[in-house]
Amino acid sequence: MRAFLVLLTIAVFAWADSFDDFNAAVAAVDRKNYQAARVSFSQVIWHNPNNANAYVSQGLMHYLLGEYQKAIDEFTRAIESDPHHELAYHIRGKAYLRLGDRSKAIADWDQAGKSALKLRQDARLAANNQTIKNESNPRQATQAEEIALNDALANFNRRIARDRIGYQTQTIDDYTREIEPSNAAAYLNRGLLYVKIGNHPKAIEDFTRSIEFEPNNADAYCNRGNSYYNLGDHAKAIEDLTQSIKIEPNNADAYYNRGNSYQKLGDHSKAIADLTRAIKIEPNNASAYYSRGISHVALDFHSKAIEDLMHVIKIEPNNASAYLNRGLSYVKLGNLQAIEDFTQAIKVAPNNVEAYARRSNSYAALGDYQKATQDARKACDLGDCEMSQWLDKNGHIPK
């Protein structure tokens, strides 16, 4: 009997400590003291090392502190405990994106969409109907305490992810029902859903409402700037993205998109400066390297363009556009490596009409009209007959 009472006391006090740590973590988050919250969540994990939601909480704190690789490690542990944890996949994808690994980000988001949580939710609902504490069954008491804490952690994770990171699983109608006159987060999330379906005017309306209620929301400015960019209003995009950077100076997405806006306006020097800052924050951001390479081409800095496009190819070996544009820079420098790059672009994208046309031009420059004609005819089959017509006009098509 004494042994039984000792076991029950240990179980109850262990979970009481877990709840104390959980409450301390929530209080720290409300104070935006994410470092302290992370320490408290580590204690929750110590009490129950198999709780996936505890790992997700820890991962969220790392994410909010900008410690993206550590966040990925925690979300991975959560997924090991619960292979269908949608939130873990989704925010791990965001962390991968912050590190410039877009392919892994997309893979995680695909998995998040496939993950079905119904069985786990049904099991939790059934468990919650049990007696919270049954002193005749210490295992049942401990299990009920674990379920209660797991619920608290899960609800906390969803709130933090939606409010501070922009995780969205609901429909536009869901957010419309949730919107209150001053619900900045709901407007932001509904705006993100409008972006996903390509309705940027509606998205801008919602981001604007979110900013009215939360003027220091860097994500709202960044997303509104991105929508202005997609609508071709680059001046407004730059204005919003600049404001986002003032609030959150280490936002690589804001620098990247502002750089692209400057590029569209022909201000390649400012574009390069912004894209360089984005790369400094996210060293594996292939898109930033690519855009900076394009601006270097526009300024006739072909050696620098080649260097940037080499980085793109290292990160994304199947990027046909990177091979094509690096080839164009090699042409400008009189480097025969151009033909190899056009060939690689064709290998990756067999219907890349420009790669055939450019390789045809390069072969013609070398006097190899047989190969030039073959490529020119293929380009013409794909819709660009200019090179074929030039070869014919100048008598270079072999009989």
Per-residue pLDDT at 5 exceeds 70: no
pLDDT band at 130 (very low <50, low <70, confident <90, very high): very low
Q: Which two tokens stand for residue 312?
A: 């793109």
Where is pLDDT greater, at 80 or 44?
A: 80
Per DSSP, the three-state class of 130 is coil
Tell me which range, 12-16, 89-93, 131-135, 255-259, is most confidently predicted by mean pLDDT: 255-259
Instruction: For 373-394, write each residue's pLDDT tens digit.
Output: 999 999 999 999 999 899 888 8
pTM for the model stands at 0.58
Q: Is the pLDDT of residue 31 over 70?
A: no
Q: How far from each other are the two terminal CA atoms of the chain, in whole angstroms? A: 103
Question: Do 360 and 381 contact (CB within 8 A), yes or no?
Answer: no
Between CA 314 and CA 347 the distance in angstroms is 16
Q: In which band, very low, low, confident or very high, does the pLDDT at 193 lie, cut at 50, 70 and 90?
A: confident
Per-residue pLDDT band for 133 (boundaries 50, 70, 90) equals very low
Query: pLDDT tens digit string along 288-339?
Result: 999 999 999 999 999 999 999 999 999 999 999 999 999 999 999 999 999 9
User: No. of H helices and E strands in the chain?
Assistant: 22, 0
Q: What is the distance between the alpha carbons of residues 281 and 304, in angstroms, rounded to a whole number?
A: 20
